[in-house]
A and B are shown apart, each in its own frame.
Chain A
Amino acid sequence: MPNIKIFSGSSHQDLSQKITERLGLELGKVVTKKFSNQETCVEIGESVRGEDVYIVQSGCGEINDSLMELLIMINACKIASASRVTAVIPCFPYARQDKKDKSRAPMSAKLIANMLSIAGADHIITMDLHASQIQGFFDIPVDNLYAEPAVLKWIKENISDWRNCTIVSPDAGGAKRVTSIADHLNVDFALIHKERKKANEVDRMVLVGDVKERVAILVDDMADTCGTICYAADKLLSEGATRVYAILTHGIFSGPAIARINGACFEAVVVTNTIPQEDKMKQCSKIQVIDISMILAEAIRRTHNGESVSYLFSHVPL
């Protein structure tokens, strides 16, 4: 069996470090830099011939730079005779552009899938894809890991009265995700739905379900500008919720997100570290992080050893 090499792109060095520590390995030597004309340059600092290579790079920050860096690293390893190159992409870039939802809209997620394949990726490991169907955009295996087991663990360890909670979806699209968590916790669910009573009236948010005298836990796959979840939090409090938490896999937090969270009535906004959160946590004390490095590390270990990865869909590695 070939040896394993794990390289990190520049988007999330901290996560890569945690993954390698858990596996008892060292990060592979790689230099990523930019020329004066802003082109990305990658130099792999050690031999990868015949190796099983894993490249960890999340879709965050300067997203196009991160993406190009990943593609160049994949290609560099491929043409340096790596036996297999796996891209570990905790937060898949452009995942929301996964369908033609209006005329002439691009399906950028499909384009990214093609780019990764053309660069030379043999396998993708990612987490909580915006839509599972994105796996079908690839002609190579895709392991879409779930943060749900880690989320359930966090709820039970950090919300003392979790048995008296309602899991809430901030929109109808997330109802399926929310009911899965509600079922595992044996609690109720609710959802918030846009309603327009008159043709010229502004949308109003309607809560479908009951949160009175309960802890409300908003669950979604990602939060970007946080307008929806902050509005939802206000709605839940006005409907009688005692406390409001938000739990999200990917905390993008762009634009006015931090200011909105600081001004909102959340007890905590809990995200995983698929995207680096250190800077955001300094600006907002409500943000808490669930570490998912052990899930990614275990997926890498199992993939390398040819073991079943499906076990991770219902278990949290310690």
Chain B
Amino acid sequence: MFCVAPPELETKMNITKGGLVLFSANSNSSCMELSKKIAERLGVEMGKVQVYQEPNRETRVQIQESVRGKDVFIIQTVSKDVNTTIMELLIMVYACKTSCAKSIIGVIPYFPYSKQCKMRKRGSIVSKLLASMMCKAGLTHLITMDLHQKEIQGFFNIPVDNLRASPFLLQYIQEEIPDYRNAVIVAKSPASAKRAQSFAERLRLGIAVIHGEAQDAESDLVDGRHSPPMVRSVAAIHPSLEIPMLIPKEKPPITVVGDVGGRIAIIVDDIIDDVDSFLAAAETLKERGAYKIFVMATHGLLSSDAPRLIEESAIDEVVVTNTIPHEIQKLQCPKIKTVDISMILSEAIRRIHNGESMSYLFRNIGLDD
């Protein structure tokens, strides 16, 4: 079984050396569910802390117990107000640092701004900026889950444990989709093909890739690389002549590479936020003969109108983990199902605190995952 802890783990789960403090940095109470589950599994109480907004909207953090010489784990679940979430975390980390905590470990199941991880339109690599800010604030270690790009680990100057939700999602497929052997794993854009391959390989299924009209938000066509050169009257070195390469076709027709006819289509991705691309993919798959459509993602941001759109769509079920709270969205859309990943986070915390190896938590993980 993919994610059931072996008996020796169950018994050791609550055995933690002294000096562990668990805080939640969220001022938003709906974001504290995951923290409570983790604390429960570890058999510890949540640390006493007050996080609130001043009338002028500044964030105030008051730590109400000693952290001197302790391993402090700060669990921060990203709320809708993402920038406030970040400030809450940074202020709490810095408060712990200046209060002489031995180590400060950030537990950030969904790393915000992770889609902004490369240069676009002369913009900022925001996830790098965020990593630098966290390190500067005093974070000594980070536990996160399914980073949008694994290379984001390299933006930090501290150890990063990038846990994976795939074993939990694979277990869900095997236990909750009765005829999953007649499924095909689908990447809704070429960028997700690697993840799809990883799932398909472990389930021993085929893959399909959708490509075309509904351009991926991360397409390199939008990265501002089509500006004309600056006109300069004098050049130190003579310019070369240039010829433009073939202009890309404006709207490549939607193509599905791979066969989905008469199959269950399982679309896999790391984040489901704005659902338009998923809906377009579902429509395409239905047209190509898929008789059931599931969407599996680690992080269910499900922004704005997503629940209503999913409810009215050809998608049969959307399965996400609880890295981000989405209870309200579930009330609006019964198609949304949740897989609990608190177990792996609590086990990671326990192992780090006890100085044990983390590699056990990656035992079913492929290189492409």
The interface of chain A, by Cβ under 8 A from chain B, is 1, 3-4, 22-25, 98-104, 107, 109-110, 113, 131-137, 142, 144, 148-149, 152-153, 156, 169, 171-173, 175-176, 178-180, 183-186, 188-191, 193-198, 206, 208-209, 294, 297-298, 301-302, 304-308, 310-311, 313-318
State how many angstroms separate the Cβ of A209 from the closest Cβ of chain B.
Answer: 4
Contact A152 B245 (CB under 8 A): yes
Contact A24 B154 (CB under 8 A): no
Contact B225 A172 (CB under 8 A): no
Which one of B11-19, B44-52, B67-75, B200-208 is at the A interface? B200-208
Pick the contact of B155 from A3, A136, A183 — CB < 8 Å? A136
A residues within 8 A CB of B208?
208
Contact A305 B236 (CB under 8 A): yes
A156 to B150, CA, bound (A): 35
Instruction: Confirm or deny: B358 has a beta carbon within 8 angstroms of a beta carbon on chain A.
Output: yes
A250 to B171, CA, bound (A): 40
Pick the contact of B190 from A24, A100, A148, A179 — CB < 8 Å? A179
Pick the contact of B358 from A24, A103, A110 — CB < 8 Å? A103
State how many angstroms separate the Cβ of B239 from the closest Cβ of chain A.
Answer: 7
Please give 18 more A-B residue pairs, beta carbons under 8 A apart, in addition to A133-B117, A311-B228: A24-B237, A100-B160, A103-B359, A172-B187, A172-B194, A175-B194, A178-B190, A179-B211, A184-B247, A189-B257, A191-B193, A191-B257, A208-B206, A294-B240, A298-B239, A301-B236, A307-B232, A313-B225
Point out which of A103, A135, A180, A188 has the most chain B C-beta atoms below 10 A from its C-beta: A103
Instruction: Confirm or deny: B249 has a beta carbon within 8 angstroms of a beta carbon on chain A.
Output: yes
State how many angstroms separate the Cβ of A286 from the closest Cβ of chain B.
Answer: 25
Contact B241 A317 (CB under 8 A): yes
Instruction: Confirm or deny: B244 has a beta carbon within 8 angstroms of a beta carbon on chain A.
Output: yes
Pick the contact of B224 from A132, A142, A301, A310 — CB < 8 Å? A310
With A133-B118, A136-B155 already in contact, the answer to whether A180 and B243 are too (CB < 8 A) is no
State how many angstroms separate the Cβ of B109 from the closest Cβ of chain A.
Answer: 18
A residues within 8 A CB of B232?
305-307
Could you pull out 22 A-B pairs where Cβ atoms are within 8 angstroms?
A: A4-B236, A4-B237, A101-B367, A131-B149, A131-B151, A134-B151, A136-B117, A136-B118, A148-B245, A184-B245, A186-B249, A193-B206, A195-B204, A208-B206, A208-B257, A301-B239, A308-B230, A310-B225, A310-B226, A311-B227, A316-B243, A316-B245
State how many angstroms separate the Cβ of B284 from the closest Cβ of chain A.
Answer: 15
B residues within 8 A CB of A4?
236-237
Contact A317 B237 (CB under 8 A): no
State how many angstroms separate the Cβ of B157 from the closest Cβ of chain A.
Answer: 9
B residues within 8 A CB of A23?
237
A195 to B191, CA, bound (A): 19
Closest to A3 in B: B236
A136 to B156, CA, bound (A): 10
Point out which of B119, B237, B239 has the most chain A C-beta atoms below 10 A from its C-beta: B237
The interface of chain B, by Cβ under 8 A from chain A, is 117-119, 122, 125, 127-128, 149-155, 160, 162, 187, 189-191, 193-194, 196-197, 200-201, 204, 206-209, 211, 220, 224-230, 232, 235-249, 252, 255, 257-258, 357-359, 362, 367-368
Contact A110 B367 (CB under 8 A): no
With A183-B248, A198-B204, A308-B229 already in contact, the answer to whether A133 and B242 are too (CB < 8 A) is no
Point out which of B208, B226, B238, B257 has the most chain A C-beta atoms below 10 A from its C-beta: B257
A residues within 8 A CB of B209?
175, 191, 208
Contact A308 B227 (CB under 8 A): yes
With A133-B118, A191-B209 already in contact, the answer to whether A175 and B187 are too (CB < 8 A) is yes
A185 to B160, CA, bound (A): 41
A75 to B58, CA, bound (A): 45
Contact B207 A172 (CB under 8 A): yes
Contact A304 B237 (CB under 8 A): yes
A298 to B243, CA, bound (A): 13
Contact A156 B119 (CB under 8 A): no
B residues within 8 A CB of A311?
227-229, 242
State how many angstroms separate the Cβ of A233 from the closest Cβ of chain B.
Answer: 19
State how many angstroms separate the Cβ of B218 from the closest Cβ of chain A.
Answer: 9
A60 to B252, CA, bound (A): 38
State how many angstroms separate the Cβ of A153 from the closest Cβ of chain B.
Answer: 7
Pick the contact of B357 from A103, A137, A308 — CB < 8 Å? A103
Pick the contact of B242 from A189, A195, A206, A316 — CB < 8 Å? A316
Contact B191 A196 (CB under 8 A): no
Contact A194 B197 (CB under 8 A): yes
Contact A173 B368 (CB under 8 A): yes
Contact A25 B237 (CB under 8 A): yes
B residues within 8 A CB of A193?
197, 200, 206-207
Point out which of A25, A135, A190 has the most chain B C-beta atoms below 10 A from its C-beta: A135
The 3 closest A-B pairs by CB, nearest first: A133-B151, A313-B225, A103-B359
Contact A315 B244 (CB under 8 A): yes
A residues within 8 A CB of B194?
172-173, 175
A residues within 8 A CB of B197?
171-172, 193-194
Contact B248 A184 (CB under 8 A): yes
A198 to B203, CA, bound (A): 10
B residues within 8 A CB of A144?
119
Closest to B255 in A: A188
Closest to A141 in B: B119
Contact A156 B151 (CB under 8 A): no
Contact A101 B193 (CB under 8 A): no
Contact A307 B154 (CB under 8 A): no
State how many angstroms separate the Cβ of A151 from the closest Cβ of chain B.
Answer: 9
Contact B245 A149 (CB under 8 A): yes
With A98-B151, A152-B245, A172-B368 already in contact, the answer to whether A135 and B190 are too (CB < 8 A) is no
With A135-B118, A193-B207, A317-B242 already in contact, the answer to whether A100 and B224 are too (CB < 8 A) is no
A residues within 8 A CB of B235?
301, 305
Contact B127 A136 (CB under 8 A): yes
Pick the contact of B226 from A171, A195, A306, A314 — CB < 8 Å? A314
Contact B153 A107 (CB under 8 A): yes
Closest to A144 in B: B119
